[in-house]
Structure 1
Amino acid sequence: MDFRKTYRKLILLAFILINTTTLFAQATRVTGVVTDGATKNGEPMPFVTVGFANTTVAGPTDNDGRYSLSSSKPYTQIKASFIGYKDIIVNIVPGKSQVVNIRLIPSQSELTEVEIKAGKKPRYRNKGNPAVELIQQVIKHRDLNRPERYNFVEYKEYDKMQFSLANVSTKIGEKKFFRKYKFVLDNRDSTTVPGKSLLPVYLNEKVSEYYYRKDPEKERTKVIGKRTVDYGGALDQEGMGDFFKYMYNKVDIYDNSVNIMTNNFLSPIANGAPFLYKYFISDTVTTETNDKLVELSFTPRNTQDLLFEGKIYVTLDSNYAVQKAQLGINKNINLNFVKSMTVNLDFEKNPDGRYHLSRSNTLADFGLNKKKTGGLFGIRTITYKNYVINKSRLDTTYAVRADEEELSDEISSRNEQFWQQNRLDTLTTAESKVYANIDSLGRMKSFKRTVDIATLLLAGYKTFNGFEIGPSNTFYSFNPVEGLKLRLGGRTTPELSKRYYFETYLAYGFKDEKWKGFLSATYSLSNRTIYKFPQNYIRASFQRDTRIPGALLQFVQQDNFLLSFKRGVNDKYLYNDFYKFEYMHEYESHFSYQMILKKWTQTPAGSLYFINNTGKINDLTTAEATLLLRYAPNEKFFQGKIYRRPIPGPNPIFTLDYTKGFKNIVGGTYDYHNLHGRIDKRTYLSQFGYLDGFVEGGKIFGKVPYPLLTIFRANQSYNYDLYSYNLMNFLEFVSDQYVSVNLDQHFVGFFFNKIPLLKALKLREVASFKAIYGRLSDRNNPSIHPDLYQFPVSGDGKPITYSLGNTPYLEGSVGVENIFKFIRVDAVKRFNYLDNPNVAAFGIRVRAKFDF
């Protein structure tokens, strides 16, 4: 036996085995570009699904058609698929990094040949379509697959929100002005999104524990750690974070609609989805755990509608659960500033065979122009782990602790060890440097100056240590009574104190030569800023300033320069002295009550006067106590350091207030009761957009002069006011009992998107309707009781103030919004009471609104 030959064969065999093992142990990495074979120049195709064949390892191409796949398993094929195109399967070399460019061929070319031969045009139908039959089963079982179906649910959640500058030139750091910021500009990530060089500038992380109990229903989210970049006191990190997360709302595919980018998208498994979507069974997939899935592709019937396109993977067991979803948007939809957006949802199996959401990843590319490569790129990733079902806890587990808010400082200052142990995902190398980089950036004087200037221009405030001066749009204004009016004011910030809050301004009118001013002091009864939900504070204030009767203006910011421009006659003003004491208390249930004590002195100014049968009256003083009740279930807010703005939602808001006027107390001259109620509601109407509306009513009990009656909200500016009557004159109508309705319909481009000439302009339709039905009782009619103040008249003695008769006041408008992406223009029509003096039956009004 030749041992030498045998030895050589063994060596050769070992070498082959070692190299084969090495080959299959190496990662298989495939990158490339997918192009459109139907175009002459091969245009790149976004949102094409590319993955390893017969697996769920897949993802969409980016806006430039690029994709990237990686796996440690020895896959030998990749597959590319897109609705309306033939699926392409390409052989690859396992264990290697390789570039594979793919050219997709439209399936329509094949259908066209069939059409010529058969003389029939293929037509999509719901009836008899197995894809539609499958989606109807998914819809039927939708509620069965929601977490709320369990008696108890708990899990741990890690929420990461990141914003980056996209494709910033690598040479910018070498320029003289930016050289000092080079440490920030060189921190880039080119692996997370294929074809994108991301420069992270914002990062927010939060870890929380979620507990849900079905009966009695109760849920609690316990935040155990949060962390965000800090640009310094000039920028409100918390408010920024809330706004970003409102844009990137949590996506629940089992909801009828998904609110994202401030718009409502109909879910592909909503009740009415089969009437608006087309569905195709595009593949069957076997998972790594041998579960059988159906790959169900869907696309909007009208590509301009606010609908998703993409794929969902449905289990073939009796649950018909969504195991995976890839949601994208068509480039033709009417969405501002968003060049592309994808939402990827992954689900994991529970012990009972059902599925729960394990990861949600939302990516959006922003830019002023969809064709440019720069802009902003935002990614929100939410990871869910430690999922436990049907495990009962003590009642205290589901109750919010009273001291939870007081722990916020500790929660916000967790050390690095905490994040390493509790972060359910990983940070990229670039993300891990963001906190230190932005902290260093915030300490640089040149950057601080830039932020201060930007804050003054955009927000209207200049920040000092614990104090802000502003708002800048009130520094200068004018009106017929005061002439040129200069004003300077400011407010303290939580950097000075969380519990004490002061606000003030001082103003001077050069025509009436009078000083005006405002001062308020607020004390938080809980150890948090007064703007934090739930509020609990007391406030004392004094204000002396002018006011137009019936004008709906903000209490402190009414001296807005743009509101100085008014139409028609505008010379009837009041000087007002307000002494107020307030107590506000909110509850976790979103029920609140507010108690207000007020002394109010009104003195006529301009051509306005108070007169009765005894002659002219210098002023009117009232003493009032008000109780205001409000219930806004599930209301959410943009929460900033020194502001809080409600986010419109589908739940109604109920408000009821009662005011008692006291005679002979602190100078009060009238006894009366005033009861007022209002219901606000936003209604989402699927592809017809949404409707904002409210109904309100009020009644005054007692005999009072006209300044204490309900003076209906009028608007003589050229700004379109959502809550006022835009063609009603100031002081035109008064009442002591009324009901009214206000409707504002936003169609979000539903009609314009179907008109080729208008579609490209991305315009959106709006319509409104407003009506008041009211009356003035005899006891408050000055023509019957001459001891009451007589209604004002014009300079030639004609009346200008009226009570509503048997006919309600009616006003409506149609308009166009999204002009230059933020302007709304309405053509407003007043339908009746056209014989009143100085009335405009028609007008054009403009409103600025930033929206996606």
Structure 2
Amino acid sequence: MKSILLSVIIFFGFLSVSLAQYVIKGKVTDIETGDPIPFASVILKGTKVGITTDFEGNYTISTSVKADSLQVSYVGYISQSKPVVYSQTILINFQLVPSTFNLSEFVFESGENPAFPIIRKAVEMKEKFDKRNLTAYESENYTKIELDLDEVEGAFKERNQVKKVIAVMDSIKQLTNDEGKKILPVFFSETYSKFYFRTDPLLKKEVIENSKLSGVGITDGTTVSQITGSAFQEYNFYRNWLTIVEKEFVSPIADGWKTFYDYDLMDSVMVGEDFCYMLKVYPLREQDLAFTGTIWIKKEDYALKQVDLTIPKSANLNFIERIKIQQELVATDAGPLLPSKTRVLIKISKITENTVGLLAKFYNSGQNFIVNNPKPPSFYFQAIQLKEDFGKGTEEFWQSVRPEQLSDQEIVSRQMVDTLSRIPVIRFYSEGIKFLGTGFLPVGKVDLGPWTGLLNYNNVEGLRLGAGLRTNLKFSNKYVLSGYLAYGFADNQVKYFLSGTKILDRKRWTTIQLNTQREIDQVGLEIENLSLNSIFLAASRFGTLNKPYYAKYYRLITQREVFKGFNLTAGFTRKEFDPVFDFNYLDETTGTYQSRFDLAQVNLGIRYGKDEVNIINDNYRVSLGPVKWPVFDFRFTQGLNSLGGDINYQKYVLSVYQKLNLGLIGVSRYELRSGFVRGTVPYPLLENHIGNETIFYTTVAFNLMNFNEFASDRFASLSYRHSFEGFGLNWIPLIKKLKWRAVANANVLWGSVSDKNLMNSSDLDEEGNPIPAFGRLDQDLPYIEVGYGIENIFKFFRVDFFHRLTYLDNPGANSFGVKVSAQIIL
């Protein structure tokens, strides 16, 4: 009996051992960036027991099967195995090394690629699953951003200032990339927001409920918080083209997918509760703006389940070594898909060996989706809004809204950012960079600058020295005071600008400003007209000035955003025109020629941008530009022969600007401009079309027109610019390695001027007889110039070749010209 009992105990003992459940868990990350690797295959080697990692790179395997080692593999990474030491709970983490995927690894047999029917069906089903088919949706979003200086090594590391930083960092755990090179975090943010989207009319709104950020050079978080939310982290692969870093990339399930991609059916796998096709995608031409990576398409309805896509270094981009996008999508009750989690990595390479690279990491998680419940259009008035108690979230709050707690590396990164921002040498350099970028240096409650006005030299003023300042948000969030003072040592004249602004309403951006200014200006190159092209403006004020005059202004300006995208500006201007060059105009009241005049003007402006995005930068509103629709701008001026004014006239100007994303063939930009002047006026009040006699290319001028060659009282112009973004040149074997990009230009101007306005303003010949001071366009013959060129030469330079097609008999006209410029583009 004892023998039988002992045998039973031994049997069940062996049975319990054989059926023992082991739990193996861990996390799979990228050794280069420390980011999780979702969708990786984790399997007990030699068995069929395995699982894929979730979006955070985590895995858990519960099994009674034993194996000597655990293997992790994923396309784009070198597989890795680790031994398993069995206990009740086993923790095994993996750090995978990126590898290069080669097209030659796949060989297709005759017949249709088996991946093609799957992609074809997924494209057919796009209409059903595209989130743009929802009337509206809203979600609660958590967004995390980290910026790191990458590869802090070599000559850069040996600089004295950098050594001081590294010494301070030794007290904190060092972060390294896969080659053991130091990474220095410089920015870390977390944002919790509510995002709202409406389809008809197309409107977006994000309410930033809380934001927690720290960064080198960040003195006030309100401005930065407006661009760290989810509104700028949208990636919809159901669109044919996705905008990333201001470039257009073709989706793997675009309508014209066969033109750009090839595919390979890798496997059929379970992803959560869905059986999916796993497909490898890669561009047909390595330099196209297209993705390589893996997509998962549900077998049941051909909806996208998840994507893991990379834009490789070979793509025609500057400075960017890699862009990686991982996204997980969920179905809504209405059918269309919404992204539940998105992770983006942008790696910017070192420009030279003595510099550093940059890692930008973005993570966004959406939850609690509500669909097809649109808010009234008025709700979306302010596209980005900070909640009233913004920034008051406790650590307990952040722990409750994070989809996953911060990793050890992220905690260290945040500590390092806080430490770096307090190091004097870092603060010195960060403030210096901001000074060069913005033109102003913050000092307490004022900003000193701009630096572009500190030193100048021209034939009228000689050496010119100046200095200025403006108040900032620390001084007041309702009042802005600004001004500058300058002195020319040749003309012995003082120039100045004084301004006071009151912000009446920050939500509907309403301001009123009063300013006065005395400055030297140029006919056709006025400061007001060139304020948005600061480089060309600064260049035009060096050397020999073009028909210069002293101008004294008094201005009253008020503006308000009446409704979303619609801005109204009104004001009054008093101006004194005192020329430094030979100038005469006929005063119709006295019948005599005068050399100076005074103006009293009423000004009205209307601007409408349907989808233009604006943010509040301290006490200023900044436009981030339109997304799709054109921007309309109308300006009206009424000159008065009262209130100190000498001339009664009206001037109307309408302009339309739009950026057109044309997919495969690149990006176009056009500007239509038209206007007319009613009344008899001196020619400085006509439309003096901007010429360019320099060797530098600019978009604000007619590049083969001479200064003051033409003026009009009725005109219409078209400026068209196109960048082919590598289209065509990417297909030429030798040229494509240079990553050059073709560009094209066309400028057309129609205009005319009445006889009265032609002769009203005049120069005098040697005998004192009046002669026209400018050229007149034939209303039946437009001025036309066309151009073509190459940009991205050595990543920075651009060369344009222009042909002038009309008015070749004009004095000094050139039928051909070469213009150069430098630019930083991706």
TM range, smaller chain: 0.7 to 0.9
Q: What code does the residue aligned with 2:492 have?
A: E
Aligned residues with identical type, % of pairs: 24
Q: Identify which of 771, 776, 793 aligns with 1:803.
A: 776
Q: Identify which of 626, 640, 665 aligns with 1:662.
A: 640
The alpha carbon displacement at 1:377 in A equals 1.2
Against the structure 1 CA distance between its residues 48 and 359, is the aligned structure 2 distance closer, same or farther, given a 3 Å change threshold?
A: closer
Against the structure 1 CA distance between its residues 353 and 593, is the aligned structure 2 distance closer, same or farther, given a 3 Å change threshold?
A: closer
1:405-432: CA deviation from partner (whole Å, max 9, x where unpaired):
5744x21232222222223343223433
Q: Identify which of 458, 476, 489 aligns with 2:455.
A: 476
- Secondary structure at the aligned position of 2:624 is classed as strand
- Which residue of the partner structure matches residue 329 of structure 1? 311
Query: Which runs of 5 or more residues in structure 2 are unaligned?
Result: none
Against the structure 1 CA distance between its residues 611 and 709, is the aligned structure 2 distance closer, same or farther, given a 3 Å change threshold?
A: same
The worse-fitting range, judged by mean Cα deviation, of 331-340 and 410-419 is: 410-419
| Contact 2:195–2:231 (CA under 8 A) maintained in structure 1 | no
| Contact 2:186–2:215 (CA under 8 A) maintained in structure 1 | no
**Does residue 846 in structure 1 map to residue 820 in structure 2?**
yes
Alignment partners' CA distance in 1, 2:784 and 2:382: 49
Alignment partners' CA distance in 2, 1:244 and 1:208: 10
| Contact 2:320–2:349 (CA under 8 A) maintained in structure 1 | yes
The alpha carbon displacement at 1:608 in A equals 4.4
Alignment partners' CA distance in 2, 1:795 and 1:253: 73
**Does residue 414 in structure 1 map to residue 388 in structure 2?**
no
- Which residue of the partner structure matches residue 756 of structure 1? 733
Q: Identify which of 550, 558, 577 aligns with 1:575.
A: 550
Alignment partners' CA distance in 2, 1:798 and 1:768: 35
Against the structure 1 CA distance between its residues 178 and 152, is the aligned structure 2 distance closer, same or farther, given a 3 Å change threshold?
A: same
Against the structure 1 CA distance between its residues 303 and 574, is the aligned structure 2 distance closer, same or farther, given a 3 Å change threshold?
A: same
- Which residue of the partner structure matches residue 806 of structure 2? 832
**Does residue 789 in structure 1 map to residue 761 in structure 2?**
yes
The alpha carbon displacement at 1:764 in A equals 1.9
Q: What code does the residue aligned with 1:399 have?
A: F
1:369-391: CA deviation from partner (whole Å, max 9, x where unpaired):
5999962211111101112345x
1:332-359: CA deviation from partner (whole Å, max 9, x where unpaired):
1111111112100102344567643110
The alpha carbon displacement at 1:537 in A equals 0.5
Map residues 341-360 of structure 1 onto 2, 5 A cutoff.
341-350=323-332, 355-360=337-342
**Does residue 596 in structure 1 map to residue 571 in structure 2?**
yes
**Does residue 299 in structure 1 map to residue 300 in structure 2?**
no
Alignment partners' CA distance in 2, 1:506 and 1:492: 16
- Which residue of the partner structure matches residue 700 of structure 1? 677
Against the structure 1 CA distance between its residues 698 and 188, is the aligned structure 2 distance closer, same or farther, given a 3 Å change threshold?
A: farther
Against the structure 1 CA distance between its residues 177 and 827, is the aligned structure 2 distance closer, same or farther, given a 3 Å change threshold?
A: closer
| Contact 2:803–2:815 (CA under 8 A) maintained in structure 1 | yes
- Secondary structure at the aligned position of 2:738 is classed as coil
The alpha carbon displacement at 1:659 in A equals 1.7
| Contact 2:186–2:216 (CA under 8 A) maintained in structure 1 | no
Alignment partners' CA distance in 2, 1:812 and 1:605: 35
Map residues 631-650 of structure 1 onto 2, 5 A cutoff.
631-637=608-614, 640-641=617-618, 642=620, 644-647=622-625, 649-650=627-628
Q: How many residues align?
A: 799
1:629-675: CA deviation from partner (whole Å, max 9, x where unpaired):
111111124753356243353321111222211112x2112222212
- Which residue of the partner structure matches residue 206 of structure 2? 221
- Secondary structure at the aligned position of 2:14 is classed as helix
- Secondary structure at the aligned position of 1:143 is classed as helix
The alpha carbon displacement at 1:303 in A equals 1.1
Alignment partners' CA distance in 2, 1:370 and 1:132: 43
| Contact 2:648–2:679 (CA under 8 A) maintained in structure 1 | yes
Alignment partners' CA distance in 2, 1:559 and 1:691: 22
The alpha carbon displacement at 1:231 in A equals 4.0
- Which residue of the partner structure matches residue 118 of structure 1? none
Q: What code does the residue aligned with 1:583 have?
A: T
Q: Identify which of 423, 427, 434 aligns with 1:455.
A: 434
The worse-fitting range, judged by mean Cα deviation, of 100-109 and 587-596 is: 100-109
Alignment partners' CA distance in 2, 1:353 and 1:421: 29
Alignment partners' CA distance in 2, 1:353 and 1:835: 66
The worse-fitting range, judged by mean Cα deviation, of 369-378 and 505-514 is: 369-378
Against the structure 1 CA distance between its residues 216 and 808, is the aligned structure 2 distance closer, same or farther, given a 3 Å change threshold?
A: closer
Alignment partners' CA distance in 2, 1:72 and 1:59: 12
- Which residue of the partner structure matches residue 38 of structure 1? none
Alignment partners' CA distance in 1, 2:306 and 2:176: 23
- Which residue of the partner structure matches residue 821 of structure 1? 795
- Which residue of the partner structure matches residue 57 of structure 1? 52
Map residues 73-222 of structure 1 onto 2, 5 A cutoff.
73=62, 80=73, 97=92, 108=104, 128-168=112-152, 178=163, 182=167, 184=169, 187=172, 198-212=183-197, 219-222=204-207
- Secondary structure at the aligned position of 1:727 is classed as coil
Q: What code does the residue aligned with 2:777 have?
A: L
| Contact 1:56–1:285 (CA under 8 A) maintained in structure 2 | no
1:269-325: CA deviation from partner (whole Å, max 9, x where unpaired):
222232222233222122332x2211222221111111112222112224x211111
- Secondary structure at the aligned position of 2:761 is classed as coil
1:114-153: CA deviation from partner (whole Å, max 9, x where unpaired):
9xxxxxxx78x9xx55533332322232232133434553
| Contact 1:51–1:59 (CA under 8 A) maintained in structure 2 | no
Alignment partners' CA distance in 2, 1:602 and 1:274: 63
- Which residue of the partner structure matches residue 537 of structure 1? 511
Alignment partners' CA distance in 2, 1:609 and 1:238: 53
**Does residue 550 in structure 1 map to residue 534 in structure 2?**
no
1:219-274: CA deviation from partner (whole Å, max 9, x where unpaired):
543321122215456x6756666678899742111122111122111112222232
Against the structure 1 CA distance between its residues 357 and 197, is the aligned structure 2 distance closer, same or farther, given a 3 Å change threshold?
A: farther
Against the structure 1 CA distance between its residues 371 and 707, is the aligned structure 2 distance closer, same or farther, given a 3 Å change threshold?
A: closer
Against the structure 1 CA distance between its residues 804 and 794, is the aligned structure 2 distance closer, same or farther, given a 3 Å change threshold?
A: farther
Alignment partners' CA distance in 1, 2:736 and 2:383: 53
Q: What code does the residue aligned with 1:592 have?
A: N
- Which residue of the partner structure matches residue 654 of structure 2? 677
Against the structure 1 CA distance between its residues 386 and 643, is the aligned structure 2 distance closer, same or farther, given a 3 Å change threshold?
A: closer
The alpha carbon displacement at 1:491 in A equals 1.7
Against the structure 1 CA distance between its residues 522 and 185, is the aligned structure 2 distance closer, same or farther, given a 3 Å change threshold?
A: farther
Against the structure 1 CA distance between its residues 735 and 168, is the aligned structure 2 distance closer, same or farther, given a 3 Å change threshold?
A: closer
- Which residue of the partner structure matches residue 511 of structure 1? 490
**Does residue 523 in structure 1 map to residue 502 in structure 2?**
yes
| Contact 2:131–2:336 (CA under 8 A) maintained in structure 1 | no
Alignment partners' CA distance in 2, 1:150 and 1:524: 38
The alpha carbon displacement at 1:538 in A equals 0.7
Q: What code does the residue aligned with 1:451 have?
A: S
Against the structure 1 CA distance between its residues 353 and 372, is the aligned structure 2 distance closer, same or farther, given a 3 Å change threshold?
A: farther
The worse-fitting range, judged by mean Cα deviation, of 604-613 and 136-145 is: 604-613
CA RMSD of aligned residues (A): 4.3
- Which residue of the partner structure matches residue 785 of structure 1? none
The alpha carbon displacement at 1:156 in A equals 0.9
Scaled by the length of structure 1, the TM-score of the pair is 0.83
| Contact 1:212–1:219 (CA under 8 A) maintained in structure 2 | yes
- Which residue of the partner structure matches residue 367 of structure 1? 349
The alpha carbon displacement at 1:193 in A equals 8.7
The alpha carbon displacement at 1:187 in A equals 4.6
Against the structure 1 CA distance between its residues 377 and 848, is the aligned structure 2 distance closer, same or farther, given a 3 Å change threshold?
A: same
Scaled by the length of structure 2, the TM-score of the pair is 0.85
Map residues 310-329 of structure 1 onto 2, 5 A cutoff.
310-318=293-301, 320-329=302-311
Against the structure 1 CA distance between its residues 372 and 778, is the aligned structure 2 distance closer, same or farther, given a 3 Å change threshold?
A: closer
Against the structure 1 CA distance between its residues 188 and 744, is the aligned structure 2 distance closer, same or farther, given a 3 Å change threshold?
A: farther
| Contact 1:211–1:398 (CA under 8 A) maintained in structure 2 | no
Q: What code does the residue aligned with 2:658 have?
A: K
- Which residue of the partner structure matches residue 710 of structure 1? 687
Against the structure 1 CA distance between its residues 750 and 213, is the aligned structure 2 distance closer, same or farther, given a 3 Å change threshold?
A: closer
- Which residue of the partner structure matches residue 264 of structure 1? 248
